[in-house]
Chains A and B, each alone.
Chain A
Amino acid sequence: IAGITQAPTSQILAAGRRMTLRCTQDMRHNAMYWYRQDLGLGLRLIHYSNTAGTTGKGEVPDGYSVSRANTDDFPLTLASAVPSQTSVYFCASSPDGANYGYTFGSGTRLTVV
């Protein structure tokens, strides 16, 4: 079934540790996105990529980095995790920009202790 695969499903991480959340899509979508979901705040954009080889900052990029080496993969890295990064992280993709609407992965629940 075509879609987005995120890994891990959940993780408990010690503060100060480095962590990479994985995201892979098989729909050949050009654009990919990382959002975090926090209760009462909805979803907020962390980083995005319009096409392989390019990335951009969203609303809440601090403490996160991304790369887009190819069309399918869009990993999100926390260089040194802090408790405020406890959240549910969603990867999404669209054929060519936000106005097409997104396909979402199932999310990664991250707890930083």
Chain B
Amino acid sequence: AQSVTQLGSHVSVSEGALVLLRCNYSSSVPPYLFWYVQYPNQGLQLLLKYTTGATLVKGINGFEAEFKKSETSFHLTKPSAHMSDAAEYFCAVSRYNNNDMRFGAGTRLTVKP
């Protein structure tokens, strides 16, 4: 079975600073990895995903994530935070043709002016 650990339930950055949200996974087979964003009182929205191929994945809103197999990590980054990035972020893992996408507990990102 696969699982996901998000390091830090709350991250606070200043506007314009680097955003780094950490995610580690465990999976017995090559994983499919995802980052989702959730704004208040809304559903989750897919930011980006890694399936196969290039390990650096670019997503919407300037976010990107790098799959590092040796570190079993899939950290989410953005070079310069914007106030509109304040939200909850979820890392998730699944396997090919699997029906069970497992989510981390989430990281709440606060952006200070």
Check A97–B100 contact: CB distance below 8 A: no
Total contacts A-B at CB 8 Å: 69
B75 at the interface (CB under 8 A from A): no
* Interface magnitude class on chain A: 20 to 34
B25 at the interface (CB under 8 A from A): no
Check B100–A98 contact: CB distance below 8 A: yes
**Chain B residues at the A interface, C-beta cutoff of 8 Å:** 4, 9, 32, 34, 36, 41-46, 49, 51, 90, 94-101, 103-106
**Chain A residues at the B interface, C-beta cutoff of 8 Å:** 4, 31, 33, 35, 40-45, 48, 50, 56, 58-59, 90, 92, 97-99, 101-107
Taking a contact as CB atoms closer than 8 A, the residue among B46, B95, B96, B105 that contacts A102 in the complex is B46
- The answer to whether residues A99 and B51 also contact, given A43-B90, A105-B43, A107-B43 and a CB cut-off of 8 A, is yes
Taking a contact as CB atoms closer than 8 A, the residue among A42, A45, A56, A104 that contacts B43 in the complex is A104
